Amino acid sequence: MSYRAEYARSIDNPSAFWGEKAAALNWFKAPQQILGKDANGVDRWFADGELNTAYLALDVHVEQGRGDQAALIFDSPVTGTKRQFSYRELRDQVARFAGVLRTQGVARGDRVLIYMPMIPEAVIAMLAVARLGAVHSVVFGGFAAPELAVRIDDASPKVIVTASCGIEISKVIPYKPLLDEALVRAQHSPAACVVLQRPEVAAELQSGRDLDWQQAMATATPADCVPVRATDPLYILYTSGTTGKPKGVVRDNGGHAVALKYSMQAIYNMNPGDVFWAASDVGWVVGHSYIVYGPLLAGCTTLVYEGKPVRTPDAGAFWRVCAEYRVKALFAAPTAFRAIKKEDPEGALLKQHDLSTLQTIFMAGERLDPPTYHWTREVTGLPVVDHWWQTESGWAICANPTGLEMLAPKPGSSTVPVPGYNVQILGPEGDELPAGEQGILALKLPLPPGCLPTIWGDFERFQSGYLSDYPGYYSSGDGGYKDEDGYVFIMGRTDDVINVAGHRLSTGEMEEIVAAHPAVAECAVIGVQDELKGQQPVGLVLLKDGVELDEAELEAELVARVREVIGAVACFKRAVVVQRLPKTRSGKILRKLLRQIADGQDYSVPSTIDDPASLAEIEAILARRALVG
Ligand code: COA
Ligand code: AMP
């Protein structure tokens, strides 16, 4: 099937198209109603279907004769550990851990928060929650206690699952004290916490609340799969918005399973038995979709890698793993390849490994800059596919659909809309713009299966954040354009979200923290270009009248505050004092202008600006601190 024919069918008759794709799954009750609307008027897929996502990810494969095939390979250069789980072993572990959770009262619809490093038990916990028809909320390990507390209060989990520590390059990070602190801060208290003790750190357990993973597993009775409705939530995943409060993106069971299974073949060209490696983290959407659910729904072998692209132990780490496990498709963020390129520019370490099984390299999470694209292509000799998506979509919106047809790539473009996504470029008035014109990237409704139907507990935020700007469309928050051939070019966010090392962060949230410092009158946090991490946040700080202090000291205090509240992952390392911030006459900070200055772009001075001289001043300060892109 050619891409164009498949795409046209998906847009012309979405119900027929997705009804056919849904038939590839082993539903408990096959859906008759393919596309309908929920009480909020939102398009919903497969509403009368019943299934269990963990059943589709594990049990089905055992029943169909794949029980002895490797389902999950764990490779941890930071601990020197390697383990493998067959589909049968993984199913049994998941059923047993589901039994542990059930004993703690977890039932269909209950939330379970998972705060774990990249270890197989994180995947086991996620699938065990899904097996019970409950809802998981995984929190990335790089977030600090206050961020964790916000998520605990929003999701109100019945149980929290954690490990005694995570391991970063050359440092061990105890997780349990962070969880304990978060629980002190949070209003909500879970009924129990299950703690996996790792050999590197022994966590202190609170009697009456905390359970030891191993002990609980030893006595647990395996639990069966609980059927759920297709529209029941499978998970909540928090992502950064423009304010300090993260958004709980909700994913349903049915649409998600159909979309991910389809994507494994159509986008990634993966067949049952192939080895797929998403070098991400289960705390991010890439980890949810392509470390856990996608590969397992497709009967592939997935890899859980506890390490970095570099320094674990060297820049050959990715190539070693690909060769050792005969990986067919590798998926990682461009920043990882920039890190490898920096340490091994000629790709000398790559030549030490047999990469004959590796067919394609996929990148997402941030824009794939052409130099990184060309370098990766040259050193590997492989097709390199940039694809664009978001936590909200759960799977790629634009990609090179390698399983349908490998289209000619264009560096700088994430290729074409994936079947199911009606991608349009809109002007400020909501008009669809012609090829070549830059505007807002929007998706004409209905969204395909797998995309979010709401924000957890806050439909209003979903409506106002995504659907209100352009009625009939989902507004993505990214800007870009299409060329004459229909290729899509993503040019970056149009709001206050930045992307640091493939991690999505809110500058608004950082501003709230910086502005709370007693010496700070006002501030703006902007993302400036960074050679390795794509962007890095920089705070522009206006002091209160009469305050005199050492700038370096203030910077250190602000850096420490952001790290304490958001976590190390924020990478907030620079703050500069400015005399004024460019504002409109009505007092709104001109953030877009600041971004343009920081990126070294040409800009025009808006007529509404209050104090044009502020621009030159900021330009000079950023240049002095070498912060202009
Ligand atoms: N738990 C605890 N801390 C974590 C963490 C985790 N899971 N992940 C990151 N951190 C910490 C790091 O230790 C670092 O702390 P430091 O400031 O004390 O050094 C900080 O958060 C920033 O981490 P990171 O941005 O990852 O920087 P790095 O220097 O450790 O690594 C790269 C740089 C480029 C190698 C790394 O960012 C990378 O591999 N990025 C790919 C990201 C990715 O896969 N994104 C998912 C989208 S596909
Ligand atoms: P996240 O929700 O963390 O996956 O981040 C989504 C955001 O990352 C998008 O809105 C984009 O701004 C950016 N992004 C992800 N993939 C790409 C890509 N391939 N090209 C450009 N930007 C991307």
Contact status, residue 189 vs residue 156, Cβ threshold 8 Å: no
Across residues 2-26, what is the average pLDDT?
98
Residue 330 Cβ contacting ligand 1 at under 6 Å: no
Would you list the domain boundaries of the chain? 3-307+387-480, 501-624
Residue 242 has pLDDT above 80, yes or no: no
Q: Hey, which of 147, 168, 198, 286 would you mutate to test ligand 1's pocket, going by the most ligand atoms within 8 Å of its Cβ?
A: 168
The ligand 2 atom at the shortest distance from the C-alpha of residue 492 is: 12
User: Which token pair is 558?
Assistant: 């602000």
Taking each helix axis from N to C end, the angle separating 370-380 and 334-343, rounded to the nearest 10 degrees, works out to 60
Selection from 65, 70, 66 nearest residue 86 by Cα: 70
Q: In this structure, what token pair is assigned to residue 109? A: 């619809």
Q: Which residues, 6+ apart, have CB-to-CB distance to 166 below 8 Å?
A: 116, 117, 118, 141, 172, 173, 175
CB distance 308 to ligand 1 below 6 Å: yes
The residue whose CA has the least distance to atom 3 of ligand 2 is 504
pLDDT at 458: 97
How close is the Cα of 140 to the center of ligand 1, in Å? 11
What's the average model confidence in pLDDT over 83-102? 98
Ligand 2 centroid vs 446 CA: distance in angstroms?
Answer: 21
Nearest atom in ligand 2 to 493's CA:
12
The two tokens of residue 417 are: 């809309």
Q: Is the pLDDT of residue 562 over 90?
A: yes
Cβ contacts of residue 561 below 8 Å, gap of 6+?
513, 514, 516, 517
Q: What is the atom index within ligand 2 of the atom nearest the CA of 285?
A: 4
Q: Which residues contact residue 579 at a Cβ distance below 8 angstroms, ignoring those fewer than 6 apart?
A: 542, 614, 617
Would the CB of 537 count as within 6 Å of ligand 1?
A: no
Question: In this predicted structure, what is the pLDDT of residue 629?
Answer: 60
Q: What percent of the chain has pLDDT over 90?
A: 90
Atom 5 of ligand 1: nearest residue by CA position: 142
The structure tokens listed for 290 are 């392509």
DSSP β-ladder status, 233-239 and 135-138: parallel
Q: Collapsing DSSP states into helix, strand and coil, what is residue 285?
A: helix
Ligand approaching nearest to the C-alpha of 147: 1
On the question of pLDDT at 439 being above 70, the answer is: yes
Kindly report the pTM of this predicted structure: 0.96
Ligand 1 geometric centre to CA of 407 (Å): 33
CA dist list (Å): 248 to 11, 168, 392 = 28, 26, 9
**Packed helices 254-266 and 14-22: angle between N→C axes, nearest 10 degrees:** 90
| Closest ligand 2 atom, residue 503 Cα | 3
**Domain boundaries 501-624, corresponding CATH code:** 3.30.300.30
How far is it, in rounded angstroms, from Cα 382 to Cα 361? 7
- Name the H helices within 137-212: 145-155, 176-185
Mean residue pLDDT of the chain comes to 96
Task: Give me the pLDDT at residue 95, please.
Answer: 99
Structure tokens at 528: 């400036």
Helix (H) or strand (E) holding 504: strand 503-506
Nearest partner of 526 among 454, 621, 610, 447, judged by Cα: 621
pLDDT tens column, 151-167: 999 999 999 999 999 99
List all residues 6 or more positions away from 426 whose beta carbon is below 8 Å from its beta carbon.
432, 433, 439, 440, 442, 470, 473, 475
d(Cα 537, Cα 498) in Å, to the nearest integer?
A: 8
Q: Which of 372, 384, 388 for a ligand 2 pocket mutation test, highest count of atoms within 8 Å of Cβ?
A: 388
Which atom, in ligand 2's list, is nearest to the CA of 239?
2
Tell me which residue has tokens 């892109």.
Answer: 629
Q: How far apart are the first and last CA of the chain?
A: 44
Residue-wise pLDDT for 520-533, tens only, equals: 999 999 999 899 99
**What is the identity of the amino acid at 231?**
T
Is the distance from CB of 176 to CB of 164 less than 8 angstroms? yes
Tokens 């024919």, residue located: 5
Average pLDDT over residues 405-418: 97
Each residue's pLDDT tens digit, 344-387:
999 999 999 999 999 999 999 999 999 999 999 999 999 999 99
Distance 569 CA to ligand 1 centre (A): 6
Q: Which residue has the tokens 């764990």?
A: 74
Task: Give the ligand at the shortest distance from the Cα of 398.
Answer: 2
Count of C-beta atoms within a 10 Å radius of residue 9: 15
Per-residue model confidence as pLDDT tens digits over 579-623:
999 998 888 889 888 888 887 888 888 888 888 888 888 888 888
Looking from the CA of residue 392, the nearest atom of ligand 2 is: 2
Can you point out the beta strands (E) in 109-213? 111-115, 135-138, 159-163, 165-168, 171-174, 192-196, 210-212
Residues within 6 Å of ligand 2 by CB: 239, 285, 364-368, 386-391, 414, 477-478, 490, 493, 499, 504
Is the distance from the beta carbon of residue 365 to the nearest atom of ligand 1 less than 6 Å? yes
Find out whether the beta carbon of 277 lies less than 6 Å from any atom of ligand 1.
no
Distance 244 CA to ligand 2 centre (A): 19
Q: Is the pLDDT of residue 175 over 70?
A: yes
Q: Which CATH architecture has domain 3-307+387-480?
A: 3-Layer(aba) Sandwich (3.40)
Q: Can you give the C-alpha Rg of the chain in angstroms?
A: 24
Q: Which residues contact 208 (CB under 8 A, 6 or more apart)?
A: none
Amino acid at 373: Y
Mean pLDDT of 481-493: 96
Residues 487 and 412: their CA atoms lie apart, in Å, by 10
- Mean pLDDT, residues 251-263: 98
Residue 527 Cβ contacting ligand 1 at under 6 Å = no
Instruction: Give the per-residue pLDDT at 596.
Output: 84
Model confidence at 209, pLDDT cuts 50, 70, 90, reads very high
Cα 354 to Cα 346: distance, rounded to the nearest angstrom: 17
Task: Give the span between the Cα atoms of 27 and 29, in whole angstroms.
Answer: 5
Percentage of residues in the chain having pLDDT higher than 70: 100
Residue 435: band (very low, low, confident or very high) from pLDDT cuts 50, 70, 90 = very high
How sure is the predictor about 554, in pLDDT bands with cuts at 50, 70 and 90? Answer: very high
**Cβ 113 vs Cβ 104: under 8 Å:** no
264 compared with 616, residue with greater pLDDT: 264
Q: Are 501 and 534 in contact (CB under 8 A)?
A: yes
Tell me the mean pLDDT in the region 211-240.
98
Tell me the C-alpha distance between 238 and 246, whole Å. 6
Pocket test of ligand 1: the residue of 172, 304, 308, 361 to mutate, having most ligand atoms within 8 Å of its CB, is 308
Q: Is the dihedral of CA 9, 12, 16, 21 positive or negative?
A: positive
Whether the CA torsion 268, 271, 273, 274 is positive or negative: it is negative
- pLDDT at 564 (0 to 100): 97
One-letter amino acid identity for 290? Y
For residue 173, pLDDT over 90 is answered with yes
Residues 506-516: tens digit of each pLDDT: 999 999 999 99
How many CB atoms are closer than 10 A to CB 604?
A: 7
